[in-house]
Structure 1
Amino acid sequence: MATSKAQTQTPDLGITDTDLKSVNQALATVLSDTFTLFVKTQGYHWNVVGPHFRSLHLMLEEQYIELHDAADLLAERMRALGATAPGSFAEFTELATVKDHQPTDNADTMVKNLVKDNETVIKIIRPLVDVAEDAKDTATADLLNARLAAHEKAAWMLRSMLA
């Protein structure tokens, strides 16, 4: 797993080795879901068609840029905690809950898929905040709470396109 180097590079941060392992596993999962959702959102951005093309195209661009930046923050947090971040498609696929891009030419299907994916990530992140808080790792808890808010906003924006 991507966090295997955490045992040999454990920094002295006031977090137990067991808690560091749990926090880094949580971060690896969120990073993998974030990256997978980034690729999927960008693919939909490229291929969306229909009467709401412009608004969807622009919204999806905003979302995939935000996801890209978030993946970098998550990976850097793992590195700060002494772990190696997943960095290959194989690792992301193994760890991610979000499923890879499913080609479709229907904009409503794209939006529904992304709503579902964002809601899936929300449900993954919410209990992981407790993992970080239980480890007394407030920096990771803050990062995960920010991700939670970002996915809640993205899901809301996407749902609004379906009304």
Structure 2
Amino acid sequence: MKANIGISEANSKAVALILNQLISDEQVLFAKTRNYHWNIESPSFMELHKFYEAQYTELAETIDEIAERVRKIGHYAEGRLKDYLKLANLEEGEYTNDQKTQLKNLLDDHETIIRGIRGHISKVEDDHNDIGTADFLTGVLKQHEQWAWMIRAYLK
């Protein structure tokens, strides 16, 4: 049954694409963070191992919330790895176990997501008449700003 929530089919479809691209970026960031959690080698091993775990755990929750938002507006969430890689703006990157390289890569990815979300909020609200998703995206933006701030503290 189609959602009758005051958003046209064309607008909800455009918003679903934005959200599915975000899911894709989140999935790439999740995989990268989990990889770094498994492979960190550093005098700060245990601290970073736990830090990365906290990040990928929160990312998993965010991914689920974004997918549920896609469903709430009447569309299907992407769920295949090959589709994520096609839609994502982020790159998987090369393997590294170097603390500084890992943190810099994660910071770059969080900031890329932040810029992308920031660019979509007014578009979703003004162009696609979806205030709920604009508000939702603001919350996701704040989460990434928090993680970026924490990562920046390690890179000083």
Q: TM-score, normalising length from structure 1?
A: 0.90
Q: What runs of 5+ residues in structure 2 fail to find an aligned partner?
A: none
Match of 1:41 in 2: 33
Q: Percent identity?
A: 39
| 2:144 pairs with one of 124, 129, 151 | 151
Bigger drift between 36-45 and 9-18 goes to: 9-18
Please give the alpha-carbon distance, in whole angstroms, between the structure 2 residues aligned to 1:126 and 1:97. Answer: 15
Name the aligned partner's letter for residue 145 of structure 2. E
| Alpha-carbon shift at residue 131 of structure 1 (Å) | 2.4
Please give the alpha-carbon distance, in whole angstroms, between the structure 2 residues aligned to 1:46 and 1:101. Answer: 15
| 2:125 pairs with one of 98, 111, 133 | 133
SS in 2 for 1:104: coil
Bigger drift between 134-143 and 38-47 goes to: 134-143
Residues matched between the structures, number:
155
Q: TM-score, normalising length from structure 2?
A: 0.94
User: Quick check: 1:22–1:131 contact (8 Å CA) kept in 2?
Assistant: no
| 1:55 pairs with one of 24, 33, 47 | 47
SS in 1 for 2:121: helix
| Alpha-carbon shift at residue 59 of structure 1 (Å) | 1.1
Written as runs of structure 1 = structure 2, the 5 A alignment for 1:49-88 is: 49-88=41-80
User: Quick check: 1:43–1:101 contact (8 Å CA) kept in 2?
Assistant: no
CA RMSD of aligned residues (A): 1.2
| 1:112 pairs with one of 104, 119, 123 | 104
Tell me, yes or no, if structure 1 residue 18 matches structure 2 residue 14: no
Name the aligned partner's letter for residue 119 of structure 1. E
Name the aligned partner's letter for residue 14 of structure 2. S
Please give the alpha-carbon distance, in whole angstroms, between the structure 2 residues aligned to 1:69 and 1:101. Answer: 23
